Structure 1
Amino acid sequence: MLPLNNISKLKLLEIIGRITFFKAFTINEREKLLNSTKVYKCIKDQNVQSELDHNSHFYIVLTGEVEITRQGGKQPLGKISAGQFIGEGSFIKKRPKSASAKAVSDSLVLCMDQDTLHGLPSTLKDKFKDAVIEGMAQRIHYLSDEIQQFHDKFSPK
């Protein structure tokens, strides 16, 4: 991934303004967040994260699409797109990554780490944590629906 240096803060503010993850943030809070984090460009087929990574980075997809895989798996686990995130398990608990992710199309991702989060003002930190919790709740709801559909399809009648 390459750090994104050739795009204006105004354009990045416009992009994150369209992302549901940031809906509770004021414009000033979004700007402060952008000044504290890094945004990367990930070209098609380039890794965003790997199961071999030993960091607690949390990535929010701003544009594009990212495919999630596991080592040794033959099929992708799924895809995520703008507004969704990866790396939350290692971000929260500082444990190894549970999956790898690579760009399906050219993508922009915002990277947050624990040190950066701890350095933010408490109101901004709380909003960020709340957005992570909301995103995880949405993912649980989605996966519950997937499990139910799988069960309905394959359970004996």
Structure 2
Amino acid sequence: MKPIEVNDLKLLEILNRVPFFKKFSPSERASFLASAIQFLKCPAGRYIIRKGERETSFYIILAGEASVVAQKNLPPVGVLKPGYFIGEGAFINNNPRSASVVAETPMVLIRLDQESLLRFPSSIREKIKDQIIEGMANRIADMNAKYLSVDSR
């Protein structure tokens, strides 16, 4: 993946459309541009995350789609679109990656690591954590609904 060279105005426009940032004020969104986090471009077919790796970055999808692959030679277990995030488990608890994520289309991502998270003011860190918790809770609810509907047949 390569760092992206896009002007701040275009990146801010992208952030304004991504659901992850819906609870951030315009000035808080702008602070992402002023921070040391990385905006990355990823070509289609490239692994963003590989199962078993110990890398702990957290990624927010700004553009493009990716597939979550739990096991090689099996269909993807999920499709991720702009606003979704990936890598939160390893980011939070330093465990190895539990699945692989492959770019299905060209993508634009934000990469956030623990060090860059600490550079944000506490109010922004709390909103980031809140968005991670909300997103994880939504994924659990979606999985429960999917598997409960299969069990009831």
Q: Report the TM-score, using the length of structure 1 for normalisation.
A: 0.92
1:11 corresponds to: 10
Cα deviation for residue 73 of structure 1 reads 4.7
Distance in 2, matches of 1:104 and 1:19, equals: 19
Structure-1 residue corresponding to 2:142: 142
Alignment correspondent of 2:23: 24
Alignment of 1:1-157 (within 5 A): 1-5=1-5, 7-36=6-35, 37-153=37-153
Separation in 2, partners of 1:34, 1:60: 14
1:55 Cα deviation after fit: 1.5
- The root-mean-square deviation of aligned C-alpha atoms, in Å, is 1.2
Sequence identity (%): 37
Could you tell which deviates more after superposition, 83-92 or 71-80? 71-80
- Whichever residue aligns with residue 55 of structure 2, its letter is N
* Amino acid in structure 1 at the alignment position of 2:51: E
Measure the CA separation in 1 of the matches of 2:109 and 2:74: 25
> Tell me, which stretches of 5 or more residues in structure 1 are unaligned?
none
Q: 1:31 to 1:135 in 2, by over 3 A?
A: same
| Equivalent AA in structure 1 for residue 149 of structure 2 | Q
Greater Rg by CA: 1
Secondary structure in 2 matching 1:61: strand
Amino acid in structure 2 at the alignment position of 1:21: F
**How far apart are residue 71 of structure 1 and its match?**
3.9
For residues 63-101 of structure 1, give each alpha carbon's deviation from its aligned partner in whole angstroms, at most 9, with x where no partner exists. Answer: 110001124352211111000011010000011111111
Q: What is the alpha-carbon distance in structure 2 between the residues aligned to residue 71 and residue 113 of structure 1?
A: 26
Range that drifts further, 87-96 or 65-74: 65-74
Unaligned runs of 5+ in 2: none
Q: Which deviates the most, 53-62 or 64-73?
A: 64-73
Residues 48, 103 of structure 2: 8 Å contact kept: yes
- Contact conserved, 2:52 with 2:98, CA < 8 A, in 1? no
Q: Tell me the number of residue pairs that the alignment of Structure 1 and Structure 2 aligns.
A: 152
Moved over 3 A (4+): none
Secondary structure in 1 aligned to 2:60? strand
